[in-house]
Amino acid sequence: MAFAFLMLITSLMANEGKSITVRYTDNPPKIDGIIEDVWLQADSAYEFVQYTPYEKAAPTEKTVVYVLQDEANIYFAFRCYTGDRKPVSSPLGEEDDITVKIDPFGSKTTGYYFWVFASDQIWDGWLFDDGRSNDDSWEGVWFRGVRLYEDRYEVEIKVPFKSIRYKSGLTEWGVQFKRRIPFTGEADFWTEVLQAEGDLISKWGTLTGVNPRVTGFHCELYPEGYLRYDNDFVSDSTHIKPSVSMNLKWDVTSQTTLNGTLYPDFAHIESDPYTLNLDQYPVYLQERRPFFLEGADIFRMSDFGPHTGFFQPLNIFYSRRIGRSVDGDAVPIMGGLKLTNKSTDWNAGAMVVKTDDYVSDDSVIEPDKWFGTLRAKRRVLNNSDIGILFSGSFIDKEEYSYTAGIDGVYRSDRNQIILQGAGSNQSGKSGWAVSSGYFGDIGIFRTLAAAEVVHDSFDVGDIGFVPWVGRRKLSLYTGPFMQYATGIVRTLHIAGGIKALREAGQDDWSKLGVLLIGPTFRNNMSVTLQLLAGPYYEANVDYFRKELLLSLSGNFLGYWLQVSNNFGYMYNYYQNYVAYRNSTAFAYNYAISPLINPGIRANIWVEWDTLNNVTSITPRLRPFITFFINGDTQIDVFSEMVLNAPEGDFGKTELYSNRFGFLFSWRFLPKSWLYVALNDYREQDEFGSLERQYQIGAIKVKYLFYF
């Protein structure tokens, strides 16, 4: 025990001691992927450490990173040696890539990442929850250059100071560098990262000597022009709809940003995928609209990250409620304003949006409405947080909804404790909800625990996403988490526990025993097996529930494979009885060539009746092909086919619907895009024929004026 404690202290001291100095240059580098002589004056970062497959081992290939700045920009350059192999460039496949991560607030909880691939593709986004969660919807203005050689590849990155938020006067930022090596599953970090923890912002190295000197308005004007053609075959009508909208982003200070939008057209270029929901609760949909994505990390309750699943935060603000979808159309938004502020200790934001009447067949389906949200969050105890969140909607003094919540999260290394509570008032009907959770290690035992009580009158359906009204839930899983320095298996988690819940309207508690087995293999392939069984009470039915969940994901033949399956004896809310049912999801893509990548996303739902006879098999097949022209231009083509095999007889399989989609996307300048989209939807009629329902064509241009 004493030896382990000494090793931990030594590791922390080593990470805290890693720093790199930003040096000023009057002769900025050209961003073309060629590391020229100007970089010789820069300080450098090296001595990377393996994260996977062998924790704390020396990397198999050498990496050197350089950092410079001038008055307006900060620059990073990577020289990644590949030895006797050529760098791998393979869009959608396993390829060489690097990532820069910065915490310009000194927050130890929040940061940016800039991800560049050998194929010249890029991703960027926010990191939060001390690096446990990320949001890749943020799109910043920055530049990169990639050059491939026989024995190495080189990447240059330029990030304008005015394109990011940072703490004014803060000369030391948190920083992390990452490099991935294809096929071997190797990931190397500049500062040591433990497999049991992941890359925590609070343990990054330090970027010293940062001194932004940029001046100007720091303003983005973002007009959008949209032309949409609709041919509705059901009503035999055709519409051509042009529209123009204006978006504004003004960085009032380096920490404070004002966003505005006027008459935005948030029509989706690609629809949400079809899903057959057999449960009683609706499906949570991800936000895609730019105005709501900017600063979205502020207007959220804390979570444990995307891969835990046992804890459901109180999402009392859910932006998809604003301008919601109605029969495939959207409630029009007239305009909105958003003000956000980020600093070392505080994150705060306020937003107000006004929607217009939604009219169909001369009837007002939804009247015009005001939406608003307020958020303030303060960092405490190094990298923990406490915050308040308010959200609401208003039609008139008779029809309104508002919710106020408080949340706190305590973080210590891999351990997290979250506490949340909220109260709602829906046109005079009030309710409350509380939720809490723990994720962490106690000795070698990894423990996951959650507790939740949602009052019968708690209602945030107009502005949030907490649909499990009236539910009480307790869960506890614990078991050894083992890590192996060598061999096929890298980590293994075996846990047992109990899940108890009482659904709304039920007097009795359901009690499920849980067994979880989760190995991660040396090649980064991971498998999770979860078994649940016990007496269950829902929909005024009591029965013995049995459920098996199996998921597999990882690198297969150089490309990402993901398979999940849920089989069990449970209540089918689609058919309103208890029976067996199965849901399987599959996703894989492959490369015919580096620039042509076909793939498939598929689901299959199987339903049984109470006599254990198969009543229906519903497959959803979504084959697609992506043509990469370059890192900024691509063409996507897909066909989403929903089929049905009644009574499980594949000989009677019918094509229920088909959606064909085409999308050309070209980023001709940072944050400036041209889209050309086509969508054709056909559905089976009463005679079993596949008939056209509608066709949509759209051209959309977004251009950034940046000054």
Q: Are 606 and 652 part of one and the same domain? A: yes
Q: Are 82 and 177 part of one and the same domain? A: yes
- What pTM does this model have? 0.80
What the block records as the tokens of 481 is 């988490």
pLDDT at 134: 84
pLDDT at 254: 81
Domain count, the chain: 2
CB contact set of 388 (below 8 Å; sequence gap of 6+): 374, 375, 376, 377, 404, 405, 406, 407
Helix (H) or strand (E) holding 11: helix 2-17
On whether the CB atoms of residues 317 and 338 are closer than 8 A, the answer is no
What the block records as the tokens of 104 is 């310009």
User: Rg of the chain over CA atoms, in angstroms?
Assistant: 26
pLDDT at 668: 92
324 lies in a domain?
no
- For 556, counting Cβ atoms within 10 Å of its Cβ (0-12 exposed, 13-18 middle, 19+ buried), the class is middle
256 lies in a domain?
no
Q: Are 655 and 703 part of one and the same domain? A: yes
541 lies in a domain?
no
Does residue 53 have a cis bond before it (omega within 30 degrees)? yes
pLDDT at 10: 41
Quick one: which of 88, 144, 101 has its CA closest to 632? 144
Q: Are 655 and 683 part of one and the same domain? A: yes
Cα(168)–Cα(253) distance, integer angstroms: 8
Q: Are 149 and 232 part of one and the same domain? A: no
70 lies in a domain?
yes
Q: Are 68 and 201 part of one and the same domain? A: yes
Quick one: which of 436, 508, 522 has its CA closest to 476? 436
Q: Are 135 and 181 part of one and the same domain? A: yes
pLDDT at 8: 39
Quick one: which of 425, 430, 447 has its CA closest to 438? 447
CA 637 vs. chain centroid, Å, equals: 23
- Domain containing 615 equals 226-241+574-707
pLDDT at 9: 42
690 lies in a domain?
yes
pLDDT at 162: 87
CB contact set of 1 (below 8 Å; sequence gap of 6+): none
Cα(575)–Cα(182) distance, integer angstroms: 46
117 lies in a domain?
yes
Cα(282)–Cα(238) distance, integer angstroms: 32
Q: Looking at residue 91, which CATH number applies to its domain?
A: 2.60.40.1190
pLDDT at 282: 78
pLDDT at 4: 37
Cα(454)–Cα(448) distance, integer angstroms: 20
135 lies in a domain?
yes
Helix (H) or strand (E) holding 154: strand 152-160
Q: Are 129 and 230 part of one and the same domain? A: no
Q: Are 160 and 234 part of one and the same domain? A: no
List Cα–Cα distances, 343 to 164, 165, 169, 224, 274, in angstroms.
Answer: 12, 9, 11, 31, 41
Which residues of the chain register pLDDT less than 70?
Answer: 1-16, 215-217, 265-276, 306-308, 327-328
pLDDT at 215: 67
Task: Write out the DSSP string of 463-474.
Answer: T-B---TT-EEE
pLDDT at 269: 46
List Cα–Cα distances, 683 to 95, 272, 499, 578, 641, in angstroms.
Answer: 40, 17, 41, 29, 10
Task: Write out the DSSP string of 68-83.
Answer: EE-SSEEEEEEEEE-T
pLDDT at 405: 96
493 lies in a domain?
no
pLDDT at 14: 42
Each residue's pLDDT tens digit, 537-585: 999 999 999 999 999 998 887 788 999 999 999 999 988 999 999 999 9
Q: Are 174 and 88 part of one and the same domain? A: yes
Q: Are 234 and 145 part of one and the same domain? A: no
CA 212 vs. chain centroid, Å, equals: 30
On whether the CB atoms of residues 706 and 141 are closer than 8 A, the answer is yes
Q: Are 140 and 232 part of one and the same domain? A: no
Quick one: which of 276, 366, 290 has its CA closest to 325? 366
